[in-house]
Amino acid sequence: MERLIEQAARSLVRGGVTSTGNFVLCALDRDCVCNEEGPRANAARAVMKQLGIGAFIHGKPSFPVPAMIRFLCAQTDMDYPRDSETRTFLHRLPVCDGTPSSMAEALRGHRAALCTDGTVIASGMVSPQEAAVNFSSACFSVYVKFMTDCLTAASSGAMSPALTDTLSRVLPSVRPLVCPSVQKRGPFDRASQVISAMVEAGRLTVECGLVDSCFGNISFVHDGILYISQTGAALDELDGCIDPCPLDDSGGTITASSEYLAHLGIVRKARCDGVLHGHPKFAVISSLHCEEDCATRDACFTACPAKRTVGGIPLVCGEVGGGAHGLYRTVPPAVADSGGAVVLGHGLFLAVQNDFSQAVARMIDIENRCITDFRRRMEKVL
């Protein structure tokens, strides 16, 4: 269990979600094991006991999320973000004051909650990894929620003094991402080269801030086989977590990414070598901000009918996984046309050709366009 806790803790720190010394992560083995001891660990044990859960995390996210949380907690009628992480994992983020009993109360029926002091708590039924993913999702949701609120308020001329104040502290942290250099160049002759290129691309995608390590996925076709990251695998630790899947309709392995069908559809329809999928924050934020005159205004978070582009590529709707509204149906045609697509409230799918260098650079470019556009809009209202 110590090893699992350490693994989950490392992935949070590497992804920049929080930093060492700023969080307690506990899980139930024979006893409750924590990554640190002290008052925070004692409180964590009390919460776990009250709720009967197997894993728990309480921590301070990296800047600027705590400032955003304090702002959101002071709102009387907070509505919740509609990005994919929130819809999939959280549904709602309750608020508590940080005492053990209030934390237990807030987590009853919820996977994560916000504390008024700017920290986040999250639970896992069994594994510390599950608690870490919920913690990370909550941080992502807060970021997206705050920034989309800023876009909405700025475009309707409704910036409150409190929002302006928090935004002016947060905005300097919004800077263009730096494009990493991809060393593993194609064409690849052997499967082992494909795998090491995927491991490198996954790590770089996380390191440069295009996705939290718990999310995103990646694939590449070699010799009639689609190599794809496993579901739930940390994108920056893919070694040993890549599955070979057939390219025909015989189906993927049970551990293959939940987006296996989307990847398969993309490589077939767009005739590309692979797919890079990330959740760059500002592409997601821009996708959630609809300025068109849509009749279904309230539904624009999930089903915007307007033909929009984000960062220069088409925006499509689509839910995670299969089903009639699955993104495996909507994304492949858009990627075939434009080499990439933004899924509303979710992230980016890009076609990969020859190796991952161009796709990584393109994802950085799209995100940086969204960042520049966001900064321009915010600087006008500050």
Minimum distance between the CB of residue 264 and Zn ion, rounded to whole angstroms?
Answer: 15
Minimum distance between the CB of residue 294 and Zn ion, rounded to whole angstroms?
Answer: 3
- Of 43-51, 111-119, 141-149, 343-351, the window that binds Zn ion (rule: CB under 5 A) is 343-351
Q: Which two tokens stand for residue 208?
A: 């440069």
- Of 168-176, 199-207, 226-234, 305-313, the window that binds Zn ion (rule: CB under 5 A) is 305-313
Binding flag, residue 299, Zn ion (CB under 5 A) = no
Helices vs strands, H then E, count in the chain? 13, 14
Nearer to Zn ion by Cβ, of 43 and 300: the residue is: 300
Residues 339/285, Cβ–Cβ less than 8 Å: no
Residues 381/154, Cβ–Cβ less than 8 Å: yes
Binding flag, residue 306, Zn ion (CB under 5 A) = yes
**AA letter at 100:** P
Binding flag, residue 57, Zn ion (CB under 5 A) = no
Minimum distance between the CB of residue 180 and Zn ion, rounded to whole angstroms?
Answer: 20
Residues 153/159, Cβ–Cβ less than 8 Å: yes
Report which DSSP code applies to 213.
Answer: T
Is residue 59 classed as helix, strand or coil in its secondary structure? Answer: strand
Binding flag, residue 261, Zn ion (CB under 5 A) = no
Nearer to Zn ion by Cβ, of 306 and 382: the residue is: 306
The beta strands (E) that lie in 199-273 are given as 217-222, 225-229, 242-246
Binding flag, residue 331, Zn ion (CB under 5 A) = no
As a whole number of angstroms, the distance between CA 167 and CA 379 comes to: 10
The residue within the footprint of Zn ion, chosen from 174, 182, 191, 294 (CB under 5 A), is 294
Q: Could you tell me which of 223, 220, 230, 234 has the C-alpha nearest to residue 252?
A: 230
Element (H, E) at 155: helix 128-155
Nearer to Zn ion by Cβ, of 69 and 304: the residue is: 304
Binding flag, residue 285, Zn ion (CB under 5 A) = no
Minimum distance between the CB of residue 371 and Zn ion, rounded to whole angstroms?
Answer: 20
Phi-psi region of 232 (alpha: psi -120 to 50; beta: other; left: phi over 0): left
Residues 111/90, Cβ–Cβ less than 8 Å: yes
Binding flag, residue 347, Zn ion (CB under 5 A) = yes
Phi-psi region of 162 (alpha: psi -120 to 50; beta: other; left: phi over 0): alpha
- Of 41-49, 89-97, 102-110, 290-298, the window that binds Zn ion (rule: CB under 5 A) is 290-298
Angle, helices 357-381 vs 128-155, to 10°: value is 50
Minimum distance between the CB of residue 262 and Zn ion, rounded to whole angstroms?
Answer: 9
Nearer to Zn ion by Cβ, of 106 and 334: the residue is: 334
The residue within the footprint of Zn ion, chosen from 72, 304, 327, 370 (CB under 5 A), is 304
Binding flag, residue 303, Zn ion (CB under 5 A) = no
- Of 36-44, 185-193, 284-292, 351-359, the window that binds Zn ion (rule: CB under 5 A) is 284-292
> Position of tokens 């220069």?
312
β-pairing, 95-96 vs 112-115, is parallel
Binding flag, residue 290, Zn ion (CB under 5 A) = yes
- Of 22-30, 143-151, 222-230, 345-353, the window that binds Zn ion (rule: CB under 5 A) is 345-353
> Position of tokens 């599950």?
130
The residue within the footprint of Zn ion, chosen from 198, 221, 300, 313 (CB under 5 A), is 300
- Of 63-71, 106-114, 344-352, 373-381, the window that binds Zn ion (rule: CB under 5 A) is 344-352
As a whole number of angstroms, the distance between CA 68 and CA 48 comes to: 27
Minimum distance between the CB of residue 231 and Zn ion, rounded to whole angstroms?
Answer: 11
Q: What are phi and psi of 89, to 5 degrees?
A: -105, -30
Minimum distance between the CB of residue 342 and Zn ion, rounded to whole angstroms?
Answer: 11
Minimum distance between the CB of residue 246 and Zn ion, rounded to whole angstroms?
Answer: 23
Minimum distance between the CB of residue 211 and Zn ion, rounded to whole angstroms?
Answer: 8
Binding flag, residue 206, Zn ion (CB under 5 A) = no
Q: Which residues bind Zn ion (CB under 5 A)?
A: 290, 292, 294, 300, 304, 306, 347
